[in-house]
Amino acid sequence: MSQQEFGPATGPPHLPGLVRHLPAPVRRVWKPPNRVAAHNVELLLKGLSGSARTLLVVGGATVGNGVEAVYRAPDVEVIAFDIVPSPVTQFIADAHSIPLSTASVDAVLVQAVLEHVIDPLRVVAEIHRVLKDEGLVYAETPFLQQVHAGAHDFMRYTASGHRYLFRRFEELSAGLVTGPGTQLLWSVEHLVRGLTHSALAGRATRGLLCWLRALDHLVPENFALDDASALYFLGRKRERAMTAQEIVAYYRGAQA
C-alpha cells in the first residue's frame, strides 16, 4: 500500500521512523494526504447497498493513504490480505489466485498493488470473479513513476491502458491521483539519487522541492492525463468487455 505520494517506500530504513516523529504539518509535506482516494472511497462506500457489506482489500498489509474510512465504516466488514502477515490482514494469499468463493464480496480495494504483480490481467480477473453482481472496485496504479520496491516492480499504465485493464467493468469515475508536478518531483528525486549514489540525498531533495506537487493543479486534465504520476479507476462489475474500438475511442488526453 501507499507509503509515498503513491507507491511503497524505498531508501534508508530509518527514514519512515523519523518521519513519524516529525510535527504533523511537516509529515503532511513529506507524505501529503491522498484526497483523491478519500473522495473516491467515500463514493465507493455510498455505492454499496444492503446491510451486510463486505469489502476486500488486495495487498492490504498496511492501511493505504486516503482509504482509512473503509476501516472506520461501522456497517462494512473489511477483509484484507497480502503475501506477508500484518495486524490489519486476515490471511496470506497470492492475488493471482484469491482463496475466496466466486461472487462473495461486495467491493474490492486495490491501491498501489497492480504494478507489483506479475500478471495484472489475471489479478483483475480474480477481482472480477470474487465480486458479486454489480460489485464495485477501486484501483490506484502508477503511470509515470520510477522503479520502487526494486525487483518487485513490473508494470505501468497509461489512462487508456488502465481503463482496458478493467475492461469488464462499467466506469463510474476515472482520472488522476497525482499529476505532472508529482511526476516531476519523482524524476528529480531519482535523478539526484543517481548522481549522488544516495537515496538519502534524493529524499532530501524531494523534501526541499515538495512545492512541485502544486503544479498538478495548474495543468489542464487532458494534458495531465498524458503526463500523470498515478491514475485511479472506480467501476462496477459487468460481463461485457470493452472492444478494441471502444478503448481507442476512450482516449481523453491532449493528443486527441
Give the residue, 23 or 164, on which the prediction is more confident: 164
Mean pLDDT of 117-127: 98
Per-residue confidence band for 30, with pLDDT thresholds at 50, 70 and 90: low
Q: What percent of the chain has pLDDT over 70?
A: 88
Mean pLDDT of 70-90: 95
Picking from 52, 88, 49, the residue whose alpha carbon sits closest to that of residue 67 is 88
SS (H, E, C) the chain: CCCCCCCCCCCCCHHHHHHHCCCHHHHHHHCCCCHHHHHHHHHHHHHCCCCCEEEEEECCCCCCCCCCHHHHCCCEEEEEEECCCCCCCCEECCCCCCCCCCCCEEEEEEECCHHHCCCHHHHHHHHHHHEEEEEEEEEEEECCCCCCCHHHCCCCCCHHHHHHHCCCEEEEEEEEEECHHHHHHHHHHHHHHHHHCCHHHHHHHHHHCHHHHHHHHCCCHHHHHCCCCEEEEEEEECCCCCCHHHHHHHCCCCCC
Per-residue confidence band for 49, with pLDDT thresholds at 50, 70 and 90: confident
Please state, in angstroms and rounded to a whole number, the distance separating the CA atoms of residues 241 and 246.
10
pLDDT (0 to 100) of residue 9? 33
pLDDT (0 to 100) of residue 116? 97
Residues 6+ apart with CB under 8 A from 200: 11, 12, 15
Residue 234 Rama label (left phi>0; alpha psi -120 to 50; beta): beta
Residues 6+ apart with CB under 8 A from 18: none
Lowest mean pLDDT among 3-17, 96-110, 146-160, 209-223: 3-17
User: Does the structure show a pLDDT above 90 at 7?
Assistant: no
